[in-house]
Amino acid sequence: MSNYHIKNLEEYYQVYRKSVRDPETFWEEVAEEHFVWRKRWNRVLHWDFTKPEIKWFEGAELNITENCIDRHLATRGDKTAILFEPNDPNEKAQHISYKELRRKVCQFANVLKEKGIQKGDRVCIYLPMIPELAYAVLACARIGAIHSVVFAGFSASALATRINDSECKMVITSDGSFRGNKTIDLKGIVDEALESCPSVTSVLVAKRTQTTIAMKAGRDYWLEPLMEVAYKDYVPEVMDAEDPLFILYTSGSTGMPKGMVHTTGGYMVYTAYTFKNVFQYRENDIFWCTADIGWITGHSYILYGPLANGATTVLFEGVPSYPDFGRFWQIIEKHKITQFYTAPTAIRALAKEKLDYVEAYDLSSLKVLGTVGEPINEEAWHWYNDNVGKGKTPIVDTWWQTETGGIMISPIPFATPTIPTFATLPLPGIQPCLVDEDNLEINGSPANGKLCIKFPWPSMARSIWGNHQRFRDTYFSTFENKYFTGDGALRDNTGYYRITGRVDDVIIVSGHNLGTAPIEDAVNEHPAVAESAIVGFPHDVKGNALYGYVILKETGEVRNHDNLRKEINQLITEKIGPIAKLEKIQFTPGLPKTRSGKIMRRILRKIAHKDTSDLGDTSTLLNPEVVEDIIKNAL
Ligand code: WTA
């Protein structure tokens, strides 16, 4: 029986039981089988969820890039590691071999060193999906610097917040980025952000769009000339298994984004293991995950997981709608993609277009399809299954989080019978449970509750950068001795899990996690706004969209509401990014509040959902009359 390439459901249960009965032996076997360790661990696992303190492979030493690159050179030196598909289909794709990847990463590592970056320093990476992004991430890992990739769709202000939170010493960016028919001035955004980032001493700029940009003397350097003269070898820094590998920010229900800290050894073992298992990866497959490396999906399943397996991984710069809605399918045909991993929001957007776009291409290379990021609705699942998978290709609906580092609940292709909208069964080593309103674990099925995980797994986040207390409060204090996911789920009679969505104030819009608090803060900064509350409502392409209730200041002045809506969204774009724009904005004289002054979001959510049949008891509100007014004027 192999821990990988599980062939049928019975074998899955055998492996699963083994992993739960003796997790340490299970993960030790996986860790021994596949990786290069410079020093072996003293202890597989140490954990205490009350602190919380989690350590995997303690005492072990390694460098993750040695495992993702160097180790493959003997057998796969000329194999394509990264297949870069540019935004413009007329620009040639680049096949970057493992040998070449090593050279680029080593040169980049030397550039970082020359600019004074040391082990443990934080480096912010704000780049489009171009090969330099992969080189930058891996170069940081090679020298032991902690990378913090910020999605290049975030605004200057959001970028500055993230740079300052982890006191990054350097920013790596490009002159600009191509997205569909748009060119975005990335360097301009960085310049604006850096006006308020005292920790940054240098900026490396990759050339992509040839846009004319300002270069600040003594701070900004073009990457290319530095790479050209850099030495082509770099001995990987030896890291402890528990040394931080990266920080990645994710939205919380309140306050600042949370800089999730992931460490080296466990993250490597788990992403490599799940990549191979969930996608049933075989040598010579061509794997394509359409996420951006700015999100955890890109970290784990464009870079680290596939490269640790010596796979060929596709890096796509563009968007699904350019030059037309057939772009994804054209790329699948062109590169003979075997595993395709995307988000429900992309599927819904493409399902709205003519079927001709899909039917024009030969998709017969596909073996496994995947989705991630939000619940997939039944209609989208069937469209994906029928038109992309032609009814023959298993779909893995993978549930996981930035915090979990890797896929947690997912079918295993060809072994787990799939049911649309169900993420199905926990992967080996993962022990989920459901918890009820009284904080008690629900035994038996069917059941509906809050989703928790009872036992550590190797790639779980270890902390929130600079705020371990918040890590404890957010994830480990709601339910004793359990990691709380923030998601609700139900479990059917066969033990299959279906994720029903967030149970907190995080809203997933087009697969992006958005906390309502920072958006409300942005709205409230508008001089005409007194107060605001934001909730989510169902949207047929985005999954959820944002509905803002806004109270205007009473100035006696008459304002044009459409102009105000534009200004508010402009402000959100500046403060956070266009992904956080409000779909609907309702101006209202008041918001329903409890006697202690808390906004009753439950009521606002129902109104936004156009479901006002049962608003519950509103008599305890401070201002029950306002509810009628809001319903009457709902959009
Ligand atoms: C949601 C993305 C239903 C969930 C890897 C989770 C999902 C949040 C699924 C994490 C899925 C992710 N089915 N919901 N297959 N996958 N989610 O941190 O609410 O960007 O908590 O990580 O996305 O989003 P994040």
pLDDT tens digits, 529-573 = 988 999 999 999 999 999 999 999 887 778 899 999 999 999 999
Instruction: Taking each helix axis as running N to C, give the angle between helix 265-278 and helix 23-34, from 0 to 180 degrees, rounded to the nearest 10.
Output: 90
Residue 46 phi/psi, 5° resolution?
-130, 130
Mean pLDDT computed over 417-425: 96
Checking DSSP bridges between strand 220-222 and strand 368-372, what pairing results, if any? unpaired
Could you tell me if residue 424 is inside a domain?
no
Task: Note whether 450 and 487 are within 8 A (CB).
Answer: yes
Could you tell me if residue 367 is inside a domain?
no
Cα 481 to ligand 1 centroid, rounded to whole Å: 22
Return the best residue to mutate from 422, 425, 427, 513 for the ligand 1 pocket (most ligand atoms within 8 A of CB).
513
State percent of the chain over pLDDT 70. 100
Least confident of 33-47, 303-317, 417-431, 550-564: 550-564
Mean pLDDT computed over 283-290: 97
Closest CA to 314 of 80, 548, 611: 80
Given a cut of 80, is residue 362 above it in pLDDT?
yes
Mean pLDDT computed over 184-199: 97
Given a cut of 70, is residue 124 above it in pLDDT?
yes
Could you tell me if residue 222 is inside a domain?
no
- 110-120, pLDDT tens digit by residue? 999 999 999 99
CB atoms within 10 A of CB 594: 11
Could you tell me if residue 134 is inside a domain?
no
Confidence at 613, pLDDT banded by 50, 70, 90: confident
113 residue type, one letter: K
Residue 196 phi/psi, 5° resolution?
-125, 30
pTM of the model: 0.93
Nearest CA to ligand 1 atom 5: 401
Could you tell me if residue 551 is inside a domain?
yes
Ligand 1 shell residues, CB under 6 Å? 250, 295-297, 372-375, 397-402, 423, 485-487, 499, 502, 508, 513
Given a cut of 80, is residue 595 above it in pLDDT?
no
Determine the pLDDT at residue 618. 76
Of residues 539 and 437, more confidence is placed in 539
Return the best residue to mutate from 342, 499, 504 for the ligand 1 pocket (most ligand atoms within 8 A of CB).
499
Q: In this structure, what CATH number is given to the domain that contains residue 595? A: 3.30.300.30
- The residue to which tokens 């003594």 are assigned: 218
Checking DSSP bridges between strand 529-539 and strand 543-552, what pairing results, if any? antiparallel
Nearest CA to ligand 1 atom 11: 399
Given a cut of 90, is residue 624 above it in pLDDT?
no
DSSP 3-state of 183: strand
Distances 145 to 119, 181, 603 between C-alpha atoms, Å = 5, 35, 47
Domain, as residue range, for 623: 506-632
Cα 320 to ligand 1 centroid, rounded to whole Å: 21
Determine the pLDDT at residue 1. 59
Cα 29 to ligand 1 centroid, rounded to whole Å: 29
- Six token digits for residue 465: 């950068």
Mean pLDDT computed over 188-209: 98
- 218-271, pLDDT tens digit by residue? 999 999 999 999 999 999 999 999 999 999 999 876 778 999 999 999 999 999
- Give counts: helices (H), strands (E), the chain: 21, 30
Q: Residue 116's Cα: distance from chain center in Å?
A: 29
Could you tell me if residue 542 is inside a domain?
yes
Atom of ligand 1 nearest to the CA of 398: 15
- 18-41, pLDDT tens digit by residue? 999 999 999 999 999 989 999 999
Cα 265 to ligand 1 centroid, rounded to whole Å: 23
Number of domains in the chain: 1
Could you tell me if residue 528 is inside a domain?
yes
